[in-house]
Chains A and B, each alone.
Chain A
Amino acid sequence: MSEHRGEALGIEGVRFTWPASGFALAIDALSIAKGESIVLHGPSGSGKSTLLSLICGIVVPDAGEIRVMGEPFSPLTPGRRDRMRAERLGVIFQMFNLLPYASPVDNVLLPLSFAPERAGRVGRDRVGEARRLLSALGLPRDVIAARRADRLSVGQQQRVAVARALIGRPDIVVADEPTSALDIDARDTFLALMAEQVRAAGATLLMVSHDQSLATRFDRAVALGDIARLQRGAAA
């Protein structure tokens, strides 16, 4: 894997077709360096969700290769892919990131059950680390101590999701439109905090968004339309 040293995520010659809908996506090349922060933008229906499913190893490309930290995802068994996702990736969705009935701290601790290496990096005081991350993301003490995550505002929930993505320092944080439910002020604060904490954790940040105005906040901005070719339905 030495030729991919310094690379966090690599995509080469990937072809994928959803068996049910026939929606097909092709990406010839994308490489993201370790520690880089990158935003991929494209309108809805531009293949963002498909790309995220591929990157997270939920689906496997029909052709080509996806590498996470130099290691190809595709040839692994489904179980190994799930394990790799747990260890290497932190995922943040648009909204509804949290188990509503669990406390913010339990939500943050959730990935550690599936990622022994991340759990090992956290050490013994898991709850302490979860609290530290939550408070570094600007959540007040009473919010951190809440009994249920669904008592939190949407903005607070998104910050809990960032803490969950970061606990145990995974290699890559993947964020799917994490600010779409926030107003502009909240969005800017959120993005600043997320970027700062991802940097502090030494992780690579890959964010997907339809909002082109965010480009300046990232090391690199890529338009999905420039790297991906789509084919809709039937023909595939």
Chain B
Amino acid sequence: MILFRLTLRSLANRWITVALTVFATALSVCLFLGVEKVRNGARASFADTVAGVDLIVGARSGSVQLLLYSVFRIGSATNNITWESYQDLGAMPAVDWIVPLSLGDSHRGFRVLGTTHEYFDRYRFRGDRGLTFAAGERFDDVFDAVLGADVAEQLGYVLGDEIIVAHGIASFSYHDDKPFRVAGILEKTGTPVDRTVHVSLDGIEAIHVDWRSGARDPALAVSAEEVREMDLTPKAVTAAMIGVKSRLAVFRLQRAINEYPEEPLLAILPGVALQELWSLVGVAETALAGVSAMVVVTALLGMAAMILAGLGERRREMAILRAVGARPRTIVVVLLFEAFAISVMAAIVGLAALYAGLVIAQPWLDAAYGLYVPITPPSSGEFGILGGIIATGTAIGLVPAVRAYRLSLADGMMVTQ
């Protein structure tokens, strides 16, 4: 035991080089664990984009495509659901609630979503968080709009501002005869809701009553005032979110919708589709983990180089140990213990740095990127990683240890320095 104590004192004796090595390795440990945390946080945030919704229904296509346009507002639907089918879905006995999603228009790069009041009650993210208003309230009038946080921030809108919706996505024809008014602005959620302009289904219908085949038909022109008097029941919606009365009924309902005879429909479980999508995006995440693992290995090799470089000056120490009876094997143990001790210190310092960094960065990550990284005690997986790093560090310590073994066999007790 005195030998291990003396090894620690020997390390303390070389504290500047040792501290630098510990610091470098600790940084790499911190980076590696940080990437893991952010990775898990990103995956969880991603999987939590939609919660509380049991099924998403759209025209028949691929499940990832349906998820992309209905939830992430990426791409477009190939087809719509007719209003009759939508009504039928809502009337199915297993269905507790249904919220329509009507997509297709945009405002300066942000998608416009036509929906109902219930959307603001039903949409849930990150566990069970609901949408809350930073200012104003839900749309009430036909031409009211509710902005996501990013839309309001990036375009500098405040309540009461007028906005003009463009027909289609990235198009140059505008519904400029029927401007909307900002009625509400939502709090930041870290989900695609932030980048969405919400209006009522009536609003969507109203701006399209005098349009035929993608262009305004002057013969049909209806003013913003006149349109309020018209029947604004839509003919179709793009997709719908459904909640069921009993979770047990989800799969049966999904099948029933997929086999709906009147129209080809597709119902997906958002959780499953999110997983499927993540497995596509997840390659980058794996690459990131790979890179940070390489950084750890680099730092550990640096440690081995540090110990190795110090051996020359320490031949005297080895010779003294040999003279008092140490076996060459003992020299190996001493050097392995040294690598082990440095790795343990690096793991502890790295872990401490990680949590310090998390405490500082967590609110910012959440606010700026909607990336929520929970501060929880290290998981068993993270302890596994730390253990792996310590084991690898000790194993890499074999390189200087074997070198010292050779030196001490050659030197014996005679080093004249």
A residues in contact (CB < 8 Å) with B: 49, 52-53, 56, 58-59, 78-79, 82-83, 85-87, 91, 93, 96-102, 106, 109-115, 164
Contact = CB atoms under 8 A, between A and B. Distances in A.
Given A99-B10, A109-B2, A110-B2, A58 B324 contact: no
Given A97-B320, A98-B320, A114 B9 contact: no
Interface size class of B (residues with CB under 8 A): 20 to 34
A103 B221 CA distance: 98
B13 A83 contact: no
Interface string B3-17: 101100110110000
Contact of B320 (A99, A109, A113): A99
A165 to B, nearest CB: 9
Contact of B3 (A56, A85, A93, A113): A113
A149 to B, nearest CB: 11
B412 interface: yes
A101 B325 contact: no
Nearest to B323: A91
B10 A101 contact: yes
B414 A53 contact: yes
Contact of A102 (B6, B316, B328): B6
A101 B12 contact: yes
A100 B13 contact: yes
Nearest to B4: A113
A110 B324 contact: yes
Contacts of B9: 101-102, 106
B317 interface: yes
B309 to A, nearest CB: 18
B195 interface: no
B339 to A, nearest CB: 18
A86 B330 CA distance: 13
A171 B365 CA distance: 70
Contacts of A49: 414
Nearest to A87: B325
A58 B320 contact: no
A70 B175 CA distance: 111
Given A56-B323, A110-B2, A96 B10 contact: no
Interface in B293-331: 316-317, 320-330
B325 A85 contact: yes
A86 B325 contact: yes
B154 interface: no
Given A106-B2, A113-B2, A99 B325 contact: no
A112 B414 CA distance: 21
B232 interface: no
B44 interface: no
A82 B320 contact: no
A96 B326 contact: no
Q: Identify the 3 closest CB pairs spanning chains A and B, nearest first.
A: A86-B325, A114-B325, A101-B13
B326 A91 contact: no
Contacts of A56: 323, 412-413
Given A99-B320, A101-B9, A115-B325, 15 more contacts: A53-B413, A56-B413, A58-B322, A58-B412, A79-B327, A86-B325, A91-B323, A91-B413, A96-B316, A102-B9, A106-B2, A111-B324, A112-B2, A113-B2, A113-B3
Contact of B324 (A79, A86, A100): A86
B327 A59 contact: no
A102 B9 CA distance: 7
A100 B327 CA distance: 21
A195 B88 CA distance: 110
24 contacts: A52-B413, A53-B413, A56-B412, A58-B322, A58-B414, A59-B412, A79-B329, A82-B325, A85-B325, A86-B325, A86-B326, A91-B323, A96-B316, A96-B320, A97-B320, A99-B6, A100-B13, A101-B6, A101-B9, A110-B320, A111-B325, A113-B2, A113-B326, A115-B325
